[in-house]
Amino acid sequence: MNVMTAGDLKATDLSALDNKALMKLEAEIAQRFMGGVPWGSVAWSLTNLAVWLSLWPLTILGIVPIWVAFPIACLNVMLSYLPSHEAQHDIIARPGEPLRWLNQLIGTVSTIPLVGPYRVLKMTHMEHHKHCNHPELDPDIHNKAESAWDFLRQSLSRRFRLGGGGDAGYAAAIERIGGPEAGLAQRDALILQLSYLAILFISAWNGHAIEAALLWWLPRHVAQTYIGFYLSWAPHHPSIETGRYKDTRAFKSAIGNIGSMGMQFHIIHHLYPRIPLMRTPAAYWALRPILEARGCDLERL
């Protein structure tokens, strides 16, 4: 039955294929976008961290004014999550592969500016994939909102409430997962959180409170809002349906694909999590006819 290739997709009536053949064709096309080390993400992670770290001495020594450093720091913290996300899916190297150490290194150091413990992020992200849009089991469900403005309102409101941030959902998920790995995740979260606060307090009491506020504390809040919006709310909106072809959508971002950090094509990530971020646009265009045939929400993209 399945004799067509990806190149034939546009010209062929996919409705002639049964479910099994369509699934096989989809997997064959997706497979072409997997494999290899995403060196772009590795360079992104290390460069981003180096730039953010360099802002501290540069501002404290008065070489770079804080008003110049602040937007750069915001960008750095916003950019810090996605390379770690590649590592969470073992895209850089799988267990047992020679570059596994690099996968774990990128996963761990990338999100230091975001104060995101790798083990927690990985465990909760796997739960998100497993239970996407589930009202109780998806750790990211707190980002569900009726509109972009509603997301912003809820995001800020949660932040003002004690224990009401996204961390609460993640902590509950870790507790639910349980086991030794969950215990290590809780330990990592505690160490990272206490280190973050210690650095803020020590910087502040040594005369660098404004630098600490504008290089870390406020950029982290800006980044948490941005990441929650583009990596969670926008691709899963309206976060009602569950299921392989229904829990994520393609969407047209007002600030383009780079501005939304590739999240316009997040549907590809949920279907094939091992496709590197930078290849998801090409994979989307190759798979689009199948996604359309599957009834996915592809909006105007």
Partner 1 sequence: MLKAVLTRFFQLMPVWFGLGFIAPLTAQILQHTGLVPPMGLSPLMVGLALGVSWGGLTVVRGRWI
* Binding-site ranges for partner 1 (CB under 8 A): 159-162, 190, 197, 200-201, 204-205, 207, 209-210, 212-213, 217
Q: Given the complex with partner 1, which of 99 and 218 has the nearer CB atom?
A: 218
**Sign of the four-CA dihedral 103, 130, 234, 298:** positive
For partner 1, the closer CB: 184 or 282 = 184
Helix (H) or strand (E) holding 232: none
Place of tokens 């399945």: 2
The least CB distance from residue 267 to partner 1, in Å, is 36
In angstroms, the CA 82 to CA 56 distance is 23
Does residue 146 sit in helix, strand or coil?
A: coil
Peptide bond into 281 cis (omega under 30): no
Rounded distance between C-alpha atoms, residue 213 and residue 193, angstroms: 16
Smallest distance from partner 1 to CB 213, Å: 6
Identify which of residues 201 and 285 has a Cβ nearer to partner 1 in the complex.
201
Instruction: Between 164 and 273, name the residue whose CB sits nearer to partner 1.
Output: 164
For the bound state, the minimum distance from the C-beta of residue 292 to partner 1, rounded and expressed in Å, comes to: 46
CA 277/CA 185 separation, integer angstroms: 25
What is d(CA 42, CA 237) in angstroms, rounded to the nearest whole number? 30
- The token duo for 217 is 């504390």
Return d(Cα 119, Cα 165) in angstroms, integer: 19
Integer Cα distance of 251 and 269 in angstroms = 14
Nearer to partner 1, 216 or 251 (CB): 216
CB of 13 to partner 1, least distance (A): 57
Distance CA 301, CA 298 (A): 6
Q: Give me the least distance between CB of 225 and partner 1, in Å please.
A: 15
Q: Is the Cβ of residue 105 or residue 184 nearer to partner 1 in the bound state?
A: 184
Q: Shortest distance, CB of residue 115 to partner 1, whole angstroms?
A: 14
Smallest distance from the beta carbon of 193 to partner 1, in angstroms? Answer: 9
Q: Which is closer to partner 1, CB of 56 or CB of 251?
A: 56
